[in-house]
Structure 1
């Protein structure tokens, strides 16, 4: 396993690989940074969501009570702790009590009162009533109205854009669950299963972090326009940005000692909507004489595509773009139809949270499953495995 590496263009792309590996029990390490749910902005966002769902979570409340800054400093937090201890209650309830008194300075009291009013409103929208919002929309609302998103947008550090992308990925992850409680429970399970023993693990890292490293086999997912090359880099830096992206593609391909496997999706879920994806222009630049095509590219027939490069050669034109009419004649490449993957109606499956169940219907990558103990649920196929594989 340690000779395998997954190299992604952006940090948010690691989440799905991490969760899938945890589901399958495959040990992995994220090199060059923390795991997805351990990242600062994700922990902050999760703290907001935990307070909405369970206001008495003191650790979560203390983490975000002054993030972004609201003039609620350490001295105020100590006052809240004292009130909570005296009353045998939580920090949240102590805050709700203290804003009705004159114990705090007017400016601090107003800031804290506004925060408590926001939490009360968000909590009212998180229930099951007619006014309830989908939990992914509620997360976006809380992050926006709290000022957290604006804080990152105003942050001029090079890490800030990636943090915003991670928050968007978090919201995307929430869409796979029926309610906020289910999502929070899932994340708790993920965090409990991050201990890996031994040194034999799959490596996950960004292309930037892969410089100077080599692996036997390298997987390069997400080679799609806008994602790689990254749209923001091209918008901000023009031709120079595109060249930087091209150099990253070269870095990724040349990390492989034996083979590099490039893949792209025909469709990608963005902000809750499925959108068609266009294969990266870098796919066209792969030298066809060094390619082994494993499945029909999505640009032609839809679906996912894999191309396997067995050489570090990169940069010649006339790659896939010259093969659209007849790929076999133009390139001489071996074309292999991929075996269909997925699940069948009636098949027994296993979900890390819901346990064993049976597939009752299939809609693309969405499965309706009747679980033995959890009842009927709809989940994405990436979150279940065949029961006999457990």
Structure 2
């Protein structure tokens, strides 16, 4: 196995072989950080420095954890058992289950998903007579998560972190929420880290147990850690101090969800004597792309500093192109046309991406891509386990596994409709409170003792008997058969089969997929914990589609060709971010631009428009200051709306002088035969600027915009 170090460059090898003491690996985009992490792990095992269960390896996504396991398997030639490798939340859940009693829980505690959190908070707010229309529950949920990300339990929140939500009642609601979670034997995602950090701080035995256990700690994407994650790592690392953090301060772009770039910037202060290793050889992008990205990010002051250079032998490439267009509609036409040209030239669409700063920008591109018939996907859509039908089925499963799970009971008791209304649920809640028992148990008592009458009593008795039968099915035949049976016998499948909406067939397919997913797990509790920890959205493999996503969603991905539209002041850098965070936010916006450019392997095309549509009509736009920060010798300029001159001081008092808009080369003349995606073929009978009156062969006369038709004279 001595050849496992072969192929590493000197900096990568240094990062692998420097095993003792604190190490910070500054890994630029495309410099092979995953290979370094995996090889370092293998090196620790193969040199007998540690057993697999003595290495704590932390990733940010389940996908990254899976990839590392697979690479380790290939590198070592065999699967490795007993690993402590996973996300922050998965690892803390594992720790917390071992010492659950010390935080007032039992080891079979439930992990609430976002939907259940929201419903529980809403109940607490209503019980406190808070107007949830004026003070939305999701705003409180955001505030509580922010406190948890910073490591604050109720009663620990400093004055400068207090909230005026609900006239200053947020902290009291936070305490009521935590008390309610404990009574349900449940935690939310934030609690997994918060409770574990608090336990490590207050219980010397637990801290000592894990400090002795983990001889080495490996951390991926360290620049994305929040404060509570930082506290957890620091506490665990104080034992052996063999912590290796891999990250890139130039790619810290998630402050809006709690990430603290200061964590990586102060690593050397936190761990005196730490060794800093810079990975700067990029194996992804061409020299012009790397030069543009490096020149841009060098304008940031809050960074540790590194300069990417090509690691490829074929690093020569075309310049980064900056295209100035007249308006956002021309921008969409330009990008879609270039994507179509690549497609016709046999380039894979899956290697083409449009990366936008804000979600609303996708509309124009979607419409144009549909006109041209170019298949595409919006990356970052609704995740599988967040879909309505999946949440409903999971609620049934949670109640099957844990009859005391009140939130699941409330979700499914009248789903499908069983005639269990608000009055009946009020009776159940009152009985549950009076007897201090779960809603399911209260319903059992009310049914048995005549608390309900007539049809309602028989309905609820039937539901309770069904659950008893499904639990027997679960014990005898396993979770897959139990799920199939309950979906059928509950009437839930029949409800969607009877639904005539266009979404219903897809919902039924999703339920089938849920059954298939459950088949990969031996027990129902294992599956439910997996669901709680899963965060990724799995795309269909082998599907050749252009990808469209926000810059935030693009981190970690790479494409042959990347289009970067909308580089204008106010849009990118984003004006709201600048208003809220000043220069700190400007530097994060610049890091976002750096991330966008470094997604490109061969072609990066940046575009900006001279004007954009707003609610009030068309507005002139100023090219982004980031364009002035790109190296001129690595750029090629094109487009119909070049500024005169193009490069100018960003903060000048005047606006760019725009060339007169030229006539559209693709203008469609009177009498032309055209094709429309919806209306089919037709002939142009009148032209008014970009509006066409067309006599369609099958749809009659219609007025449409010229961008929605293609000329078909032949």
TM-score tier by shorter-chain length is: 0.3 to 0.5
The normalised TM-score by structure 2 is 0.28
Scaled by the length of structure 1, the TM-score of the pair is: 0.48
